[in-house]
Amino acid sequence: MKRPGFLSVLILALGLAACANTIKGAGRDAANAVDATKQAGEEVVQAIQ
């Protein structure tokens, strides 16, 4: 009886760890998009001047 419970907890923990990595990656992607947008805006301002 203890083995199926342990296996379920292990699978759940691995699944949650995978979700955490995905969320971190999405956060990095969003930060990179913000940085790229800011840089593009600065380049437009410089081109106008």
Q: Where are the alpha helices (DSSP H) in 1-49?
A: 2-48
Chain segment 14-44, per-residue pLDDT in tens: 877 888 778 888 889 999 999 999 999 999 9
**Between residues 11 and 28, which one has the greater pLDDT?**
28
Q: On the CB side of 23, how many CA atoms lie within 13 Å of its CA?
A: 6
pLDDT of 3 > 70? The answer is no
Locate 15 and state its tokens.
Answer: 């699944």
